[in-house]
Amino acid sequence: MEIDSGIREYIGVPVTFSFGLGRARAIAAVGGTAFLPETGFRPDEIARMLNSGAINALSAVPTMLRTIFASPDVLGSAGKRLKWLEIGSQFMSADEKRMVRKLFPSAIILQHYGLTEASRSTFLRVDQADDYAFESVGRAVGTSKVRISREGLIEISGDHLASGIIQNGLIRPLAGDDGWLTTSDLGEIRDGWLHYMGRTDDVANIGGIKVSAEVVERLLAAALGTQEIGVAILRDELRGEKLGIALPSGSSAADKRRVHAVAEGCGLSSADLMLAEISDLPRTPTGKLQRKALSQALEGIKVEQKTQAGSWRAADLPLSGRESEIASIWSEALGISDIGKDDSFYDLGGDSLSAVSVLIRAEQVGLPKEVMQRMFAGETIGQIAQALEENSQKVSINIRGIRADGLNAARGILALLIVVSHWGPFFIDRMGSFGSLLWSFLGPALRIGTPGFAMVFGAGLAFFYVSQLERSGKQIARRIRLNTTIVVSGVLLIGGAQAWSISATGGEFGPNWPERLFYEVLLFYALMLPSSVIWLRLVGQAQDRITTSLLLAGFAYSVTLMLQWAVPENPFSGWGSLAWHMAVAPYAYPRLLGAVALGLAAGLWLEKQSSGDALVRNAERLGSVLAAGGFLLVASLQGGWQENAEELVAVPAFAGAVLLLFAMMTRLAAGSGSWPRRLRPAIIAGMLAFPIFIGHGLVGLVMSILIAYSVPYILALFIPAILFVAAMLMLGWRIHRMIYPGHM
């Protein structure tokens, strides 16, 4: 700050705080003078002392400076007399920093970031900063160092870090063995500038959406034009957590609509909020909101509301006729009885299999297609019913809906790749040497289908099941049982067709008949769905879910390698032979469980991203690194991709490709113009992935049955293929009509 002995500073922060004490020490070090206000920070007193020359410097936190922003006339032209200003580490927006620079045009203005244990870790010269740096809290200087942990937490080290905390006469070190202190603050480093993203203690997990109470508070303050807004995290019976919003007394209906609009922009529905009017927010002497005290106050109001009204939850409020109709269908499809008007399909953990069930049931009872369009956009039951009553054409697109579209589109493309990989050899064999050459390039690439689909399946578990399992485990278990029934029915249907084909062609079932009837990729999902409850509980109860998911993947792949080494050849017959295949072969349970666990870890990691843009951007970055590194690794091995595409060494490349595919699909789904419309076939294919698996598995079997009954080869080939394609197109068209406006 280039201060000298001429400094005469008004220390706005109490010197019992580390910031205030630091200012007093700095002023004393250069022989300057400090003024400690008797009645606290007062803008009128500051203006008077600047005009009289009693002070020429100021130190304050953003909360204090905002009192000047609210009444800049109080300061008047006195701000031009200020030579030095240091601002504490509370968040300030870029516009607020511009305001400070305007109010004090001649001052050296410095903002720092830190905490009691290390008050000043980064510095930003506000008077010199450009627009790019304005949103940051500066960068480390001197011996100070800053980095971001894998969990997104700010870590600091350096000589400014306190030695430790004195307990019972002994110093307990604050930092780890490597000298780094892990804070509870979330952050990002962009081109060397540290960006503060809020405290992890203030991050709520609401239906899988991670939101910072502090960030929401800033957005609300900007939207409502007042700093008298408080946001805290509350417990919730259905969602686990929700946001409590404290508004000034006398807030208008328009203010509350703005609150809901801001929440919607953060991916939240009105069911994720509790609004209350509180005239006096609990604050520290420096004006910082005491979020825990606010949470306790809001919890008390919530209990009072429950006592007076029977419940504070919209799920228990009376539903209109249209709302009840929608809720009953969702309840039947999702196996959840406690559904309220402010719940959305994604709030309740809706996934692609559930979506198809809802669509079928909705069409049976004649529910308007507008309901389905809005359901998949992420609107709540109340929003849908209101839009129908008002005949509104506007659809509110929710970030969860966009994320689900991206996941379904990636699932659809991978499902189609699996179909192509199964049908491809039939056509390639009839193309001679050119076909063989073509397949030598396509074959290895198409092998991404099976592990890639498993990874997307795992990401779906993270998005739609993990957070729901914490608060409605029994209901999730019922849904998984329903989905298992659908997949098992497909396995049995294909097994029955296989048995008919063997019988019709005069073949023998042989000792390995279970393997011939049932070994296919669907069998893995018939086993994976019911057992996923075990893995979800294991991950859900872990302190670090992402690391636990990665450890599960490592365990699964280790078991795969061990079994391949222990039982490389199939010595069994009957059901034992089928069990060997499900333990060692390409559709083996441990092998694909590893892929599912990787997808689960990726989904949990992506959920931690602060916004939809961050989700896509980070998925692209990690996907590019994994795909490029994995491809080079496999290509460098003897035999290259031709011989190693099915080996575990190819997993990093496939994982990277899946992340890139998901990122691209999500970016297109959230885009403008015609791209979201062009993506619809892939999204619908993702919703129909398991029916596609079942149908394409039946085509070849039906063909062999028809040939056995003397149907000409051409007809036997085209009849089942055309019926399969027609059935999928018809079902896809029905879904399209119900969830998308207009026509394909």
For residue 493, what pLDDT is reported?
Answer: 93
Instruction: Answer whether 207-290 and 316-370+379-386 agree in fold.
Output: no
Q: What is the model's pLDDT at position 733?
A: 86
Mean pLDDT of the chain: 81
Q: What angle do CA 491, 497, 500 make, to 5 degrees?
A: 140
Cα of first residue to Cα of last residue in the chain, in angstroms, is 63
**Cβ contact 422:562 at 8 Å:** no
Q: Phi/psi at 125 (nearest 5 deg)?
A: -80, 95
Mean pLDDT (whole number) for 384-392? 71
Q: What is the pLDDT of residue 312?
A: 31
Short-list 99, 91, 108, CA closest to 194? 91
Least confident among 11-25, 297-311, 535-549, 590-604? 297-311
Any idea where the domains of the chain sit in the sequence? 8-197, 207-290, 316-370+379-386, 405-433+450-608+671-739
Residue 593 pLDDT class (50, 70, 90 cuts): very high
Structure tokens at 617: 């951007």
Q: pLDDT-based confidence at 732, cuts 50/70/90?
A: confident
- How would residue 81 be classed by pLDDT, with cut points 50, 70 and 90? very high
Q: Residue 362: its pLDDT value, please? A: 62
Residue 346: its pLDDT value, please?
66
pLDDT above 90: percentage of residues in the chain: 24
Contact status, residue 415 vs residue 685, Cβ threshold 8 Å = yes
Q: How far apart are CA 324 and CA 536, in angstroms?
A: 31
> What is the spatial distance between Cα 189 and Cα 457, in angstroms, rounded to a whole number?
32
**pLDDT at 114 (0 to 100):** 81
Confidence class for position 492, pLDDT limits 50, 70, 90: very high
Q: Between vectors from CA 458 to CA 453 and to CA 462, what angle results, nearest 5°?
A: 145
Q: What is the mean pLDDT of residues 541-559?
A: 91
| Whole-number pLDDT of residue 337 | 58
- H helix runs in 430-569, sequence order: 432-446, 449-461, 467-471, 473-504, 513-518, 521-540, 545-566
Residues 393 and 261: beta-carbon distance below 8 Å: no
pLDDT at 305: 44
Q: pLDDT band at 395, cuts 50/70/90?
A: low
Residue 131 has pLDDT above 50, yes or no: yes
CATH 3.40.50.12780 fits 8-197, yes or no: yes
Q: Which DSSP state fits 289?
A: B
Q: Which CATH architecture has domain 316-370+379-386?
A: Orthogonal Bundle (1.10)
Q: What is the band of 7 on the pLDDT scale with cuts at 50, 70, 90?
A: very high
pTM for the complete prediction? 0.58
What homologous superfamily is domain 207-290 in, according to CATH? ANL, C-terminal domain (3.30.300.30)
More confident residue, 237 or 374: 374
Structure confidence at residue 253 (pLDDT): 74
Confidence of residue 46 (pLDDT cuts 50, 70, 90): very high
Tens digits of residue pLDDT in 447-463: 788 898 899 999 988 88
DSSP-based helix, strand, coil % in the chain, nearest 5: 60, 15, 25
